[in-house]
Chain A
Amino acid sequence: MIALRGLCVRTGTGHLAVRDVDLTIQAGQRLGVVGESGSGKTMLALSMMGMVPDGLQVEGQVLVDGHSIAAEDERAWRSHRARSVAMIFQEPMAALNPLVRVGDTIAEPLRRHLGLSRRDARARALNLLEETGIPQARRRLDQYPHELSGGQRQRVLIALALACDPQLLIADEPTTALDAQVALRITDLLVRLSQERRMGLLFISHDLAAVSRTTSDIMVMYGGDVVERGRTASVLSAPEHPYTRGLLAARPSLMTRSRRLPTIPGTVPQLNALAAGCRFAGRCARELPICASRRPPLSPTETGQAACHLLGAQA
């Protein structure tokens, strides 16, 4: 079980890239994290791996199996990576060393963490590749990354991530670099693996369709804050926060034909220009005078929780 308690990620200039996130991921739970670029989703994920880049400071607690692990404790983190938390990446080509056969890439953590012999690690790597449904898995072991397609590479990375039976798999935009058909198969694979292995899944994406297909719970982030969370289906069908509504409204639809897609006005502000209160203040269509100065707490809604002053105003 992985949990975050009051997690903040502070930049070198003292601004918060992630603000006060509480989060628990149970075995087998599939949580989607959505938000625009710069909303802090990747930082959140990296803090759960103890891999926040140098120069950024992690505050609050990261709990692995109930034990708090300091962000600087590289030795402790190294033993948890792959075993407790594993990660797959956006660009499957970039995440594979072009000079290493994929079988050896998968065997590495098996030999290091589980102490398997070369032969056993290879056999295990083959099993893992087969589990990810890659065609002709035995032949793939001895191939180099450039000999595989994008989807196959992502399956190799998934096999690598599964090598040490992690409790939580973080997938950071795993389908962004893949075409739509392949992306569907990869998300279905992630769901299947999470169910079969009772493994938590943290699925980061800005593709709402992929998130609704993959996850049971959802967390919407904006400017480092969690603005809304709840069951995926209910949040996406009845969003409470103006930002979530804006995101949903900005999706193209086959049903209605509009000339232009609605957009959320403005862009995600730089961290140093973010409001002290609600970080969506300034772009919000329904802003109240209080929004810029007071930060709304996460309060219960019909579908989960949302952080918005409107909720109190309506009640």
Chain B
Amino acid sequence: MTARLPANILIGAVLVALVAGAAVLSAVWTPYPYAAIDVANKFAAPSATHWLGTDQLGRDLVSQLMAAAGNSMTVAVVAVGIGCSVGTVLGLLAAARGGWVEEIIMRLSDLGFAFPALLFAIMLAAAFGPSLSMVVIAIAFINIPTFARVSRAAANQIWRREYVFAARAAGMSSFAISRDHVLPNIAAPVIVQATIEFAVAILVEAALSYLGLGAQPPAPSWGRMLAEAQTLMYLAPQLAIWPGMCIVTAVLGFGLLGDGLRDISDPRLARQRSA
């Protein structure tokens, strides 16, 4: 049986590959150093030398966008990675222990949900000064309860399976059961959630950098590029349009991919949608 991949996965994967490819490439090569100023050449139109032109300081736009992609992806990978691992461990613990341990973990998660990511990041920036690492901490922190909830719900289902019962009957501890039996079986929903949270993380990073709470100059960021281009909208709208497009591409790509993966892992949803 050769099942065709659904369109949303295909499109999502292509967009993600585009952004991720640019991000990886930016680590080793950009057309120009992203921060190289060339005032003589400011506001250059797209040409063979500067594919998308230059900005108000003559910096190459393509180079900046690529480097910003790298920044964005790093923030998303680290933040979602931390949030996902800590949250999943907490969720597994809650499901394995039950009782008051589960109660405490889940009520703390509820508390975590009460914090809007942006407000939390603004609070951190106010306390510790704005920086990209504060953004990472904020996004990671916001992700912990999400993953704790998703993994606990999935893990609770697995704990009711007979093979978990059989593993207990074989004398396995609840830690070993969580690691060997529960974790592999909840990987699908956790990966789906991680993909979706990736999109959110990119958006939050862009928003915070736009507000000046994230990437500090000269570190490139789509959000900061947008903010800087704002005053030049009438003069050089392309300076705002391109970073905006990049944000849309990345968020849309991860969003579509996550949706598609969710459809695959939960066929009931897919059937509803195609019906």
Interface residues of A (CB under 8 A from B): 49, 51, 78-83, 86-87, 89, 91, 94-100, 108-109, 112-113, 157, 160-161, 163-164
Contact = CB atoms under 8 A, between A and B. Distances in A.
Contact of A160 (B161, B166, B176, B185): B166
Given A100-B180, A100-B184, A95 B172 contact: no
B170 A86 contact: yes
Interface in B139-186: 161-163, 165-173, 176, 180-181, 184-185
Question: Closest 10 CB pairs between A and B?
Answer: A82-B171, A81-B171, A94-B162, A95-B166, A97-B163, A109-B170, A87-B169, A99-B184, A82-B170, A95-B162
A230 to B, nearest CB: 29
B73 to A, nearest CB: 30
Nearest to B184: A99
Nearest to B169: A87
A108 B166 CA distance: 12
B183 to A, nearest CB: 10
A78 B171 contact: yes
B170 A95 contact: no
A86 B170 CA distance: 7
Nearest to B187: A99
Interface residues of B, number: 17
A228 B167 CA distance: 33
A94 B161 CA distance: 7
Contacts of A96: 163, 166
Contacts of A157: 166
Given A97-B181, A99-B184, A100-B181, A86 B163 contact: no
Nearest to B158: A97
A157 B185 CA distance: 20
A106 to B, nearest CB: 9
B170 A160 contact: yes
Most chain A CB within a 10 A radius of its CB, from B168, B170, B180: B170
A82 B168 CA distance: 9
A19 to B, nearest CB: 24
Contacts of B168: 51, 81
A39 B163 CA distance: 24
Given A97-B181, A100-B184, A89 B172 contact: no
A306 to B, nearest CB: 32
Contact of B170 (A81, A94, A99): A81
A163 B161 CA distance: 22
Contacts of B176: 108, 112
Contact of A163 (B170, B173, B181): B170
Contact of B171 (A91, A94, A100, A164): A164
B109 to A, nearest CB: 23
A95 B163 contact: yes
B167 A94 contact: no
A50 to B, nearest CB: 9
A270 B176 CA distance: 38
A275 to B, nearest CB: 32
